[in-house]
Structure 1
Amino acid sequence: MNASATDTLPSETEIRQAPPDDYMSARQLAFFRARLIHERDTLLESAHRTTLHLQEFESTPDPSDRASLEEDHTLELRVRDRERKLLHKIDEALVRIDNGSYGWCEDTGEPIGIPRLLARPTATLSVEAQEIHEARRKMQGG
Structure 2
Amino acid sequence: MTEKVDLDEIELEPDYRPSPDEPYMNPKQLAFFRRKLLDWRNQIVEDTTHTRQNMNESENQADEVDRASQETERYTELRTVEREQRLLSKIDAALRRIENGEFGYCEVTGEPIGVRRLEARPVATLSIEAKEAQERQERQMAED
Give the alignment's TM-score, normalised by structure 1: 0.90
Residue 8 of structure 1: which of 1, 8, 11 is its match?
A: 11
| Shift of residue 59, structure 1, vs aligned partner | 1.9
- The structure that is helix-richer by fraction is 1
- Aligned to 2:133, the other structure's residue is in SS state helix
Per the alignment, do residues 62 and 113 of structure 1 end up closer, same or farther by CA in structure 2, a change over 3 Å counting? same
- RMSD of aligned residue pairs (Cα, Å): 2.1
Counterparts in 2 of 1:90-101, with a 5 A limit?
Answer: 90-101=91-102
Q: Which residue of 2 aligns with 1:105?
A: 106
| Shift of residue 45, structure 1, vs aligned partner | 0.3
Kept after mapping to 2: 8 A contact 1:103/1:112: yes
Kept after mapping to 2: 8 A contact 1:36/1:121: yes
- Aligned to 1:16, the other structure's residue is in SS state coil
| Shift of residue 111, structure 1, vs aligned partner | 0.3
Whole-angstrom CA distance in 1 between matches of 2:87 and 2:7: 31
- Aligned to 1:59, the other structure's residue is in SS state coil
The alignment of Structure 1 onto Structure 2 pairs a total of residues equal to 140
Q: Does residue 128 of structure 1 match 2:138?
A: no
| Shift of residue 5, structure 1, vs aligned partner | 9.2
Aligned identity (percent) is: 42
| Shift of residue 18, structure 1, vs aligned partner | 3.3
Paired amino acid for 1:31: F
Specify which structure has the bigger relative contact order, considering alpha-carbon pairs within 8 angstroms and separated by 6 or more residues: 2
Q: Which residue of 1 aligns with 2:74?
A: 73
Deviations 1:40-86 (A, max 9, x none): 00000001001100101412111011000000000011111111110
Q: Structure 1: which 5+ residue stretches go unaligned?
A: none
Per the alignment, do residues 109 and 12 of structure 1 end up closer, same or farther by CA in structure 2, a change over 3 Å counting? farther
| Shift of residue 14, structure 1, vs aligned partner | 3.9
- Aligned to 1:124, the other structure's residue is in SS state coil
Whole-angstrom CA distance in 2 between matches of 1:5 and 1:44: 22
Whole-angstrom CA distance in 2 between matches of 1:7 and 1:136: 41
Give the alignment's TM-score, normalised by structure 2: 0.89
Per the alignment, do residues 3 and 87 of structure 1 end up closer, same or farther by CA in structure 2, a change over 3 Å counting? closer
Q: Which residue of 1 aligns with 2:21?
A: 18
Per the alignment, do residues 38 and 5 of structure 1 end up closer, same or farther by CA in structure 2, a change over 3 Å counting? closer
Per the alignment, do residues 57 and 14 of structure 1 end up closer, same or farther by CA in structure 2, a change over 3 Å counting? closer
